[in-house]
Structure 1
């Protein structure tokens, strides 16, 4: 098309030309973004509508690895003995904040099975402290929650819907809640990151049902040494969320 014809189109149909240009750029990006969303695995947000909701929520997410806010917490109690620093760089997480998943450095099938067994072991070993139900957050995986006979010991437990943690089947990362001091340790040493929506303004998007700022993604373990640390993090989460110092 000659420059004179382009000029004529811009002059007579500027809106149509602009919209066509935006569509040419935007549609491929949106299609690719939808494929990325689908690749993150099963989630409570399903199909194109779920993707659109995830797209909107991601606009309100925040960075996930700063820890200065935990120094200001009212309590500095610890349940986690300081682990070694996690080797290597952090795994990459998906562009979307919901679902919040890692996309590389995934564990072997054997390591994934061992993590499942550890999760089940601690659920069974603490029957007066915890129980397992469908995750109040994910809606499609089993979660460890505070036992119905145990009162919520703090605001984090209430905001976190009394859920201690769950394992994501696609990558075997975990979402858990740690004490503020333990959250700082786990993030600073490379074992975890915050959920992008944790601590976000309570009035949007979920009034009275927002994630506490210490709602963390714990990266999937790649070997026995990392599995041992992840197990200690899980035990610390059980202790903090139930207010117990006697977790088996």
Structure 2
């Protein structure tokens, strides 16, 4: 490099710094953005949605601790204790929104069975729930508390009265469980908390959980029981069909 070029660089250190950051950071951003897009179409899309996801992720927290649920005012349960889920937890995409798993996905047959189970319980409980566009996701169906039922607790209000929804891309599911059931589902490996759950700046309650996609008949049965427990807790009913 010539002395004149070195002199120019010494007189423009900020330009050198920004050029270096761009050289290192641009490939990372492109790769990171592609990972974000691979998580599927959500209410956050495109470069602007990506920037929102980056920002929100800065406020996120860990997702599998459960000591906080022991301090809840109520310890009522709707979920019969299931068996422990086999294997390690699936991997998650990097952003906190959308929260999606990236491996250990179900077969098409199991995915269709889960969709049918969700629809079955929506139809079988017409006085407890109704199906509308998800207040959280904005672009997929969700089960919500029937408008004739008052919100039974603050979690229902914070959760926009949404009981749960299935993510089409991976067939994981978001639901709200009671504090005691949240502890059980997380401790036994069936779910994890939303990364913004319980973060004071946001409205998502700490019992807003992501239930991992079922891989076989046994797991499908447990996930169905978790869904029924969510319907019961969110509607205050002990008679969920």
- Relative to the length of structure 1, the TM-score reads 0.95
1:221 is aligned to 2:220: no
Aligned to 1:88: 87
Q: Given the alignment, which residue of 229, 232, 244 partners 2:237?
A: 244
1:212 is aligned to 2:205: yes
- Please state how far the C-alpha of 1:33 moved relative to its aligned partner: 1.0
Relative distance call for 1:229 and 1:5 in structure 2 (3 A) is: farther
- Mapping for residues 32-111 of structure 1, pairs under 5 Å: 32-111=31-110
Q: 1: CA distance between counterparts of 2:92 and 2:119?
A: 26
- Please state how far the C-alpha of 1:156 moved relative to its aligned partner: 0.3
Q: Given the alignment, which residue of 202, 205, 226 partners 1:233?
A: 226
Report the number of matched residues: 241
Q: 2: CA distance between counterparts of 1:127 and 1:184?
A: 29
- Please state how far the C-alpha of 1:8 moved relative to its aligned partner: 3.3
Aligned to 2:196: 197
Aligned to 1:28: 27
Relative distance call for 1:119 and 1:21 in structure 2 (3 A) is: same
Q: Which runs of 5+ in 1 are unaligned?
A: none
CA RMSD across the alignment: 1.2
Q: 2: CA distance between counterparts of 1:106 and 1:5?
A: 58
Q: 2: CA distance between counterparts of 1:201 and 1:159?
A: 11
Give yes or no for contact 1:9–1:17 (8 Å, CA) kept in 2. no
- Mapping for residues 174-185 of structure 1, pairs under 5 Å: 174-185=173-184
- Please state how far the C-alpha of 1:5 moved relative to its aligned partner: 6.9
Q: 2: CA distance between counterparts of 1:6 and 1:69?
A: 59
Aligned to 2:124: 125
Q: 2: CA distance between counterparts of 1:10 and 1:89?
A: 51
Give yes or no for contact 1:144–1:166 (8 Å, CA) kept in 2. yes
- Please state how far the C-alpha of 1:7 moved relative to its aligned partner: 5.0
- Please state how far the C-alpha of 1:13 moved relative to its aligned partner: 1.6
